[in-house]
Amino acid sequence: MGHSFSEDLKWRMVYLYLDSYNKQKISKLLYTSYSGVCRILRNFKKWNCIENPFRGLSGHKKLFRSTDIKVLKGLVNEKVDWFLNELVEEMKMRTGSGIH
3-state secondary structure the chain: CCCCCCHHHHHHHHHHHHCCCCHHHHHHHCCCCHHHHHHHHHHHHHHCCCCCCCCCCCCCCCCCCHHHHHHHHHHHHHCCCCCHHHHHHHHHHHHCCCCC
pLDDT of residue 74 exceeding 60, the answer is yes
Domain assignments of the chain as residue spans, ordered by start = 7-47, 66-95
pLDDT of residue 71 exceeding 90, the answer is no
pLDDT tens across 31-46, in order? Answer: 999 999 999 999 999 9
